[in-house]
Every structure is written in structure tokens, then in C-alpha cells.
Amino acid sequence: MSSPLLQIENLSLGFQTEGGLLRAVEGLSLSVEEGQIVSLVGESGCGKSITALSIARLIPSVQYLGGRILLAGRDTLTLSRRELRQIRGKVVSYIFQDPALALNPTLTIGAQILEVLLLHQPKAATRESCITALEQVGIPSPELRIDEYPHQLSGGMKQRALIAMALASRPRLLVADEPTTALDVTIQAQILQLLASLRSSHQMSILLITHNLGIVSQFADHVAVMYAGQLVESGPVRQVLQTPAHPYTRALLASVPQLGGRRRLSSIQGQVPPLHAMPAGCRFGPRCTERHGGCKELTPDLRAHPTLAGHYTRCLPPRP
């Protein structure tokens, strides 16, 4: 059996501050198979984006405190700057939630796509290739849009242009960090359908970062739920959403609005703990409605579900 395209093993990340070291991600393990869509879910500040950016070492200030990140069989934590430049855009590419900030306002869309091609596929760095890239992501009149600047495009068109840039050199892994947050609902659906179709046509894997469980249920094959820098549950998407094993996952699902639903919308009491004041024992314990005495005393490990294959959870069993 072939190895996963991306395999994160026991990764811990932190930041050095005046008050000392703050651990932002603790012992996280995650894998993405070839052609698979894996979604990383959790509240803001849980460590999703830091984890995603760490794959290609895009945050200079982060400290790698332990673990490995194997991308196409190579540990990115051991690569030189030159080697990292070769894999960024070629093996792994990123799209972000606000294309207006990700795109260079002083360059035309065509010039920005051409820049990617010149770096990774110089023989394909032509105007025709740039037009084709825009055409593949559904931008109308690409021969005209190629000469426009980002401010001349709508939000949906900006995001499509950013996707065209990310895919120009045919990466094997696309990391999509909240790619639809800044868009209206109709455009969100179009962008997600585009990513799903590109996954098939480009034979590409996708790591989708989101807090929207509705998106996860429609587009992901596998889901990993994070809380306070730790992975608390992971498994096949239907299995996790239909049979959630962790109280945090159940609480997230209970807080999702439903059309025609008459029940009172649930919320999770309290707040995510700050990095400098993580609670003892289970990190979700202070907010958990199912906690017991052991949750304050013992730190749960990520364990295999007793009956569901490929399903893991970080929760202590209830006391008899």
C-alpha cells in the first residue's frame, strides 16, 4: 500500500514571546491520501491555519517543537530554503480566504499567473497558458481578464483567479484555507463545486480548512476536528458526522442551523482557552456538559474507536 501524499506525525508548534513559549499545536497527526479531500475543522484560534501553513513552512516565526511533516515522501522540516522553493507551488499550493489580500494589486492577473509558470514550468510560461488557466476555473472572457488588475474583478472572480494561480503548475496537494468565507452563499457553492471538479480533473488532493460543517458534509472524504491545538476526533466524514464520538464534535453539530428546524439553536458555553492558560486534564473539560471528575485529572490520548474502523477520538470513557 502506497504512503499518503501528506503525513503529519506528532507535530507540535509554538511561538516564543516575552512571556515564554506558547504551544499553539500539540502532538497533531494527520494524513491526506492521493486524490482525497480532508477537512480540518474547529473554532477560530484552534490551530487549523498554523497547521496548514506549517506544511510548507510559511510562518518564519513559528517554532517546530517536535514531529515530522512528510510531503510526497520528504520531510519538509529538514529541507533547505532552495528545496522549499521547489516544492511551494509545485508539490503544494495554497488558496486563502481573502483573495483581495492574497493577490498583488500592482500586477495584472496574467502577470501573476505567469510568475508562477516561470518559476516551475518555464517552457509553459506563455500568454496562451495563462488564458487556459483562467478558462479552466470558469472565468468568462479569459483573454480580456488576463490584462485586468485584481480591483477590476468581483470577489468570486478574484478567488477563481487565485485558484488559477495555485493550479498553474499542477500541484499534487492544494491547501484551501477558508476559501469561501469572504464570498456570498451562491458564489461559495460555485467555488466549492469548482474545487471538487478540479480534484477529479487534476487528480489532486485537497486539505480544506473550514469551520463550516455543512461544507464538510458535502465535499470532504475525511474530517479531522481540532480544539485548543489538539486533534480531538478524526475519521471518515459520514461516520464522524453521523456517529460523533467526542462531546466537542457533538456540540459543533448541535450548533448548526437547520432549515425548517424548530428546535432552539444550541451554543457551546464558554470560550476556547488562551495558549498561556490551558486547563489541566482535558482541554475541552471546562466547557463540556459530559465531564466528570477524571476529566480534570487525566489528559486523554487520541485512541481508536472501539467499533468504528478508522475513527479516532480524544475522550475519557464515562465513569461507571
Res 259: pLDDT:
66
- Return the C-alpha cell found at 260: 425548517
CA dist 36 and 236 (Å) reads: 11
First to last CA, the chain: 41
Q: What is the mean pLDDT of residues 241-255?
A: 93
Element (H, E) at 238: helix 237-242
> pLDDT class for 1, splitting at 50, 70, 90?
low
Res 45: pLDDT:
87
Quick check: is 63 in a domain? no
CA dist 79 and 74 (Å) reads: 8
- Return the C-alpha cell found at 106: 500592482
Q: Which of 41-50, 149-158, 161-170, 253-262 has the lowest mean pLDDT?
A: 253-262
pLDDT at 303 over 90: yes
CB atoms within 10 A of CB 242: 10
Query: How many structural domains is the chain composed of?
Result: 1
pLDDT at 249 over 80: yes
Res 180: pLDDT:
83
Quick check: is 215 in a domain? no
Q: What is the mean pLDDT of residues 42-60?
A: 93
CA dist 166 and 177 (Å) reads: 13
Quick check: is 116 in a domain? yes
Percentage of the residues of the chain whose pLDDT score is greater than 70: 98
Residues of 252-291 as b/e, b for ≥16 C-beta within 10 angstroms? beeeeeeeeeeeeeeebeeebbebeeeeebbbbbebbeeb
Residue 136: name the closest of 158, 111, 115, 167 by CA: 167
> pLDDT class for 106, splitting at 50, 70, 90?
very high
Q: Report which residue type is found at 168.
A: A
Q: Report which residue type is found at 161.
A: A
Quick check: is 161 in a domain? yes
Q: Which residue has the cell 516565526?
A: 61
Tens digits of residue pLDDT in 167-202: 988 999 999 999 887 778 888 888 889 889 888 888
Res 99: pLDDT:
86
Tens digits of residue pLDDT in 68-82: 999 999 999 999 999
Quick check: is 308 in a domain? no
Q: What is the mean pLDDT of residues 41-47?
A: 90
Tens digits of residue pLDDT in 110-157: 999 999 999 888 888 899 999 999 998 989 999 999 999 999 999 889
pLDDT at 98 over 80: yes
Quick check: is 137 in a domain? yes
- Return the C-alpha cell found at 222: 475525511
Mean confidence (pLDDT) of the chain: 91
> pLDDT class for 67, splitting at 50, 70, 90?
very high
> pLDDT class for 319, splitting at 50, 70, 90?
low
Tally of CA atoms within 13 A in the half-sphere of 236 that contains its CB: 8
Res 242: pLDDT:
94
Quick check: is 189 in a domain? no
Quick check: is 1 in a domain? no
| Domain encompassing residue 109 | 104-170
